[in-house]
Amino acid sequence: MLNLISVPRNNSELLTLEEFLKLPETEPASEYINGVIIQKPMPQGEHSTLQGDLVSALNGTLKPPKVGRAYPELRCTFGGISIVPDVSVFQWGRIPRRADGRVENTFNIAPDWTIEILSPKQTRKKVINNILHCLNHGTKMGWLLDSDKSNIFVYDTDKSVEIFEAADVVVPVPEFAEAVQLTIGEIFDWLKA
> H-helix or E-strand containing 164?
strand 161-164
Predicted confidence (pLDDT) per residue in 72-101, tens digit: 999 999 999 999 999 999 999 999 999 999
CATH number at residue 94: 3.90.1570.10
User: Tell me, what's the pLDDT at 85?
Assistant: 98
Domain assignment of residue 142, yes or no: yes
Residue 33 lies in a domain: no
Q: Is 134 exposed, middle or buried (0-12, 13-18, 19+ CB in 10 A)?
A: buried
Angle at 174 between CA 176 and CA 56, to 5 degrees: 80
Q: How far apart are CA 176 and CA 2, in angstroms?
A: 34
Domain presence at residue 135: yes
Rounded distance between C-alpha atoms, residue 65 and residue 63, angstroms: 6
Give me the number of domains the chain comprises. Answer: 1
* pLDDT score recorded for residue 75: 98
15 found inside a domain = no
Q: Is residue 141 part of a domain?
A: yes
Distance CA 29, CA 21 (A): 12
Q: How far apart, in whole angstroms, are the C-alpha atoms of residue 177 and residue 92?
A: 11
pLDDT band of residue 179 (cuts 50, 70, 90) is very high
pLDDT in tens, 107-165: 999 999 999 999 888 889 999 999 999 999 999 999 999 999 999 999 999 989 999 99
- pLDDT (0 to 100) of residue 122: 85
5-49 pLDDT tens trace: 444 444 446 889 999 999 999 999 999 998 999 999 988 999 999
Q: CA 68 to CA 62: how far, in whole Å?
A: 5
Confidence of residue 1 (pLDDT cuts 50, 70, 90): very low
CA distance 65 to 53: 19
Q: Is residue 14 part of a domain?
A: no
Please report the pLDDT score of residue 13 as a whole number: 64
Does the residue 29 lie in any domain? no
What per-residue confidence (pLDDT) applies to 7? Answer: 47
Structural domain boundaries enclosing 164: 42-192
What is the reported pLDDT for 3? 44
Residue 11 located in a structural domain: no
pLDDT digits (tens, 9 = 90+) for 41-80: 988 999 999 999 999 999 999 999 999 999 999 999 999 9
Supply the pLDDT for residue 8.
43
